Structure 1
Amino acid sequence: MDPVRGGIRFAMALAIGGSALSVLSLALVAFTLHALLTTPHAWPWALMTGLLASTVGAFLLRQAAFRHSHYAAFRLEAILRTRLADHIAHLPLGRVQTLGAGQIAKVIHDDVKALHVFVADSTPMVARAYASPIIATIVLFWLDLPLALAALAVPVMGFAIMAMVMRNSREISERYNAAREQVAAAVVEFVQAMPVVRTFDTGSTSFGRYQRALLNYLKVLKDWYVSMRFSSRFSLAILSTLPTLTVLLWIGGWKFAHDTQDFSTWIAALLIGAGLAEAILPMMSLHHLVQKTLISVERIQQILAEPLLPEVPAPGQQPGDASVVFEHVSFNYEKAEGPSVPGAGTPADTRTADRADIPALQDVSFTAAPGTITALVGPSGAGKSTVARLIPRFWDVDAGRVRVGGTDVRDMTADTLMQQVAFVFQDTFLFATSIADNIRLGCPDAPMDDVIAAARAAQAHDFISALPRGYETHAGERGTFLSGGQRQRITIARAILQNRPILVLDEATAFADPENEAALVRALSALMHGKTVLMVAHRLATIQNADQILVFDQGRLAEQGRHDELLQRHGVYARLWQSGQDAGQWSLQIPVD
């Protein structure tokens, strides 16, 4: 809360001023009654005017406190979300993927909102919750020592019981929030997976997860209730106004009957003592709110504590050409990814339990010369996509170096590096804006003629022109209004428009049907012309003419060469090729009765 701490303190000071005026109003009520009783024919104008002024002043200060706390909360919300977004934008891209969209969105939206609510609504209440009892106690001691001690004895007993209630509140609160998040995650999963659910298990599996999460949530609530039902009710009853009033009535009445108590002082003590009890009661609800807010604060701090990639002073080193060189590169995901943020969701990429024992890459060295096509092949999990993602520094290598244009990628600024490399991934992403704006991503000032030329080269112009609004048609959230092949061709058009010298293709045609695949191959041919291409491929038939093929196996570069050379070695590549040939000859056999 440091960026807006001045505004918060001012709001709390206003709340404290309002509390002081409230106590003064109660005292003035007593003095006004005393004046009316002692001199019934003389109207106490001064006291009544003071009472009216203090009452209105207390109301105005309270409203002003909440107004300033809300202003501070809005400023804090904007500052935190901007800071979080800026920090995430400078995290290693691989770490962002590991954290996952769900975690990050929850922290930026829900946790920042929780802190906003606390600052806006609770900081004035916190000030009042502490200031009002202190001011009331000082006034009570000034009025009458025995009555002050009696008024304090009741809340002290209540606080003692409350302390017993809250001794395990942190642990229970964490269990409660975790159970709530499990329910929310299960609901989202159940709704998002509805087509699959209805097709395969009629909801028994996914709804069962939701039901188990709900039952766990119910159990946590019951345990909480059982552990606190008597003590919390008893402490709430003691901290209410009635017990304090009862004690003050008995003691004050006894003293008044024995002529040791002034009536106006007794009335003032009754009113202020009731206000004391009323002011203490909100502390319990504030305690729970503070504990809940601290959990959100912890998650925000964990995101902001994520280490950034080491900054390179501008302008950094510049590449000399479009070559890509790996020099004895080793990399382990376990070291790079780090822990997830507790309670913020499920990471986007769930690794296997034994991955920490097997480095993703081990002592990998190769050179992709400018203007050549290098294919990366191998079994699943062999390290192909890891190679592709180390080029733009999704992560930094554990050992060795990655050079682009003869320069270590760690010595280039992020902007310089990204100006060298374009990507077409297997998973496409389009924004919920126009198709033209999606193609312009990275080149926002590109003229429309260049956008159309890129779309033509990507074999996308015809289907875009057939849409209701052409290039101004909105793609929908994540491109939902377009087919998978159409989305892929738009991402290819985006890469063509960027026209960067190095191109990384990560199985760009993996999920395409035959007709779309033909269009995608023509689009990729236009995109690859004259560029240094690194292509991750599973369909070996598509990379027979590559200038070199790198064969990976268990994180190591097992073989390297051209298609014909690798087949003659009868190694890993030959085995993969034969498996592909066998799969291509497979056909559905229908038994005949």
Structure 2
Amino acid sequence: MALSVLSSLSVLASLFALALAIRAMIETDQAWPSREILAAVCFTVIAYVLRLRSFAKSHRAAFRLETILRTQLSEHLAHVSMGYIQQTGASKLSKVIQDDVKELHVFVADSTPLYARAYAAPIMTLLGLLILDWRLAAVTVGLLISGFIVLGVARKDHGDLSKRYMETREQVSAAVVEYVQAMPVVRTFDTGSSTFGRYYQALEAYREVVVSWYQSVSFSSRFSIALLNPMPTLVLLLWSGAWLFWHHDLEFSTWLATLLIGTGMAESMMPLISLQHLIGKAKISIARINEVLGEKTLSQPEHESVPQGHDICFDNISFRYDEVSDYVLRDVSFTVADGTITALVGASGAGKTTIARLLPRFWDVSQGAITIGGVDVRDLTSESLMKYVAFVFQDTFLFAESVADNIRLGNPGATMQDVIEAAKVAQAHEFIMQLPNGYETCAGERGAFLSGGQKQRITIARAVLQDRPILVLDEATAFADPENEAAIVEALAALMKGKTVIMVAHRLTTIKDADQILVFDDGSLVESGQHNDLILNKGTYARLWDSYEQAQSWALNQEELSRKDGNINAIPEQRLVSEISAVSDNQLKGEMR
């Protein structure tokens, strides 16, 4: 800003030097007043260099700020609860990290030089005009005040309109992301009518805001900009100066000097308007960035405790996602002994996955405590907790990096030999070697170049390489085909050996030999025990088991198919059912231990 102020001052000095040069030519008949012209050239060069330096410094500061903010946001989001991440949504968070930080980059890069041009230049110009002739200075100031009054009328509802404008822009961005991400579903079911319709509605809302804003300020805005333009100021100085000169009340050299520097005040008005626009956008972006940075992080202990063993205890825990929602888990208590396998079963929405994700503190419990080896998980730092627990979820995620890097994610220092050994345990080595570049093959965005079963085995290899004493499996074979499932089950059997395991399962035959089966219903633990005992109890688990066995015998009715000449669409919906594969059930039962 200081450099920019000096640059503006140098511009005025060069104009004064030009005025002095013209005065010298008129009053002394000098054909070439070299000193004055040389001074004008020097001040012009100085102004140009100082302005370049000013912009260079402001842009470097903007890039530094961009790095700082994006780093802070990324680190902060890594320590907030997963509930906040899911409720806020990827689209909004990416807009904050990308677009809002970019707005602050633009503000810092462009506003600091604009401050000098918008505030310092008019003040220095006004002082110069007052020194030359106070009457012409008053004429210039009066015109600019009139322009600002009209501009104030144009901006009276600017805050609300700007907020609506940004909200509709966000809705358009979210609709675009949804439409692109849902393209496979759109092409299969929707043909774009519904999802594209939401995008069109968002775009229409955005257009309405823009048009109404433009219509409400069109005249006042254009009129104010016309008044604040340098040309009206120049015309007014020209006519008022001519009238004073005609009445022998103003020297020609003074009149000429005011014409040269007088437009400096008007020229600074446009930067002032741009600056106000930048400030308005920056305030909105700052509010959103502060909202994300203000989200409470998961607490971290000052003094860390060391677990004595790897047994797990859920002690009377209850959980809800926020202060106003209902509890999804109520008064749940159970213990998982060190080195044993505990299976969580129940209907969809019963709370099984929530239990599995409370252990690594994806969320913190609302009531009660979860302990590992007698230590509350809240008394462990996030880094230490991750040294005890490994995960394999049904929703796999791979980064757009090499297969080896994806396996190495949980253990960046692992050697290539370690990666290969982990892949072999996970039954992934064979298919990886068939890829174009083997372990260096890029997995694509979200693992797009690999099948679901292949991605699952890579995530298992990742867990193998981590070698954590506690393992959480969340329906790891849910979406695998029979061939991939066999390989996945074999990999899981090797992974579980000697570990304390909590596994969420829907295929009940896979957990018959578990040391402990916990049955959940509507957020409560309703039964616990081993398979045979639970069957004899004739409770919730027995009903689930009966339903599962019935599902195993479901098949298409071939007689009905023949009678309808193979027209599958003619079969009643209740009779059109699919056979559920159980290829790997017996294999997992035999190898779980």
3-state SS of 1:530 partner: coil
Moved over 6 A (4+): none
Comparing 324-333 with 175-184, which one deviates more in the overlay?
175-184
Of residues 402, 419, 426, the one that matches 2:387 is 419
Distance 2:190 2:406 in 1: 37
* Aligned: 1:395 with 2:363: yes
Distance 1:84 1:198 in 2: 36
Q: How many residues align?
A: 561
Residue 217 of structure 1 deviates from its aligned partner by 1.6
Which amino acid letter does the alignment assign opposite residue 572 of structure 1?
Answer: T
1:503 match? 471
2:170 match? 181
3-state SS of 1:552 partner: strand
1:325 match? 313
2:289 match? 300
Distance 2:275 2:556 in 1: 67
3-state SS of 2:315 partner: strand
3-state SS of 1:334 partner: coil
Given the two structures, how large is their TM-score scaled by the length of structure 1? 0.91
Note if contact 1:318-1:416 (Cα within 8 Å) is conserved in structure 2: no
Of residues 426, 430, 437, the one that matches 1:469 is 437
Which amino acid letter does the alignment assign opposite residue 392 of structure 1?
Answer: P
3-state SS of 2:322 partner: helix
Which amino acid letter does the alignment assign opposite residue 330 of structure 2?
Answer: Q
Q: Deviations over 1:21-75 (max 9, x none)?
A: 1122222222221221111136322221221111111111111111111111111
Percent identity over the alignment is 57
User: Alpha carbons of 1:271 and 1:92: their partners in 2 closer, same or farther (altered >3 Å)?
Assistant: same
Unaligned runs of 5+ in 2: 565-593
Q: Deviations over 1:117-171 (max 9, x none)?
A: 2211232122211111111111111211111111000110110111111111121
Given the two structures, how large is their TM-score scaled by the length of structure 2? 0.91
Residue 115 of structure 1 deviates from its aligned partner by 1.2
Distance 2:502 2:449 in 1: 30
Residue 100 of structure 1 deviates from its aligned partner by 3.5
2:508 match? 540
1:144 match? 133
User: Alpha carbons of 1:437 and 1:281: their partners in 2 closer, same or farther (altered >3 Å)?
Assistant: closer
Distance 1:318 1:97 in 2: 31
Comparing 179-188 with 159-168, which one deviates more in the overlay?
179-188
Of residues 483, 494, 505, the one that matches 2:451 is 483
3-state SS of 1:200 partner: helix
2:567 match? none
* Aligned: 1:253 with 2:242: yes
1:92 match? 81
1:384 match? 352
Distance 1:326 1:201 in 2: 44
1:67 match? 56
User: Alpha carbons of 1:416 and 1:281: their partners in 2 closer, same or farther (altered >3 Å)?
Assistant: closer
Which amino acid letter does the alignment assign opposite residue 475 of structure 1?
Answer: A
2:491 match? 523
Distance 1:130 1:422 in 2: 59
1:229 match? 218
User: Alpha carbons of 1:519 and 1:91: their partners in 2 closer, same or farther (altered >3 Å)?
Assistant: same
> 1:66-145 maps to which residues of 2 (within 5 A)?
66-145=55-134
Note if contact 2:311-2:337 (Cα within 8 Å) is conserved in structure 1: yes
Distance 1:464 1:41 in 2: 87
Unaligned runs of 5+ in 1: 1-11, 336-355
Q: Deviations over 1:360-386 (max 9, x none)?
A: 211111000011111111122221111
Distance 2:273 2:262 in 1: 19
3-state SS of 1:523 partner: helix
Note if contact 2:91-2:174 (Cα within 8 Å) is conserved in structure 1: no
Which amino acid letter does the alignment assign opposite residue 18 of structure 1?
Answer: S
Of residues 2, 14, 17, the one that matches 1:28 is 17
* Aligned: 1:443 with 2:411: yes
3-state SS of 2:155 partner: helix
RCO higher in 1 or 2 (8 Å CA, sep ≥ 6)? 1
Distance 2:16 2:3 in 1: 20
Which amino acid letter does the alignment assign opposite residue 142 of structure 2?
Answer: A
Residue 523 of structure 1 deviates from its aligned partner by 0.9
RMSD: 1.7
Which amino acid letter does the alignment assign opposite residue 81 of structure 2?
Answer: P
Which amino acid letter does the alignment assign opposite residue 383 of structure 2?
Answer: D
Note if contact 1:383-1:553 (Cα within 8 Å) is conserved in structure 2: yes
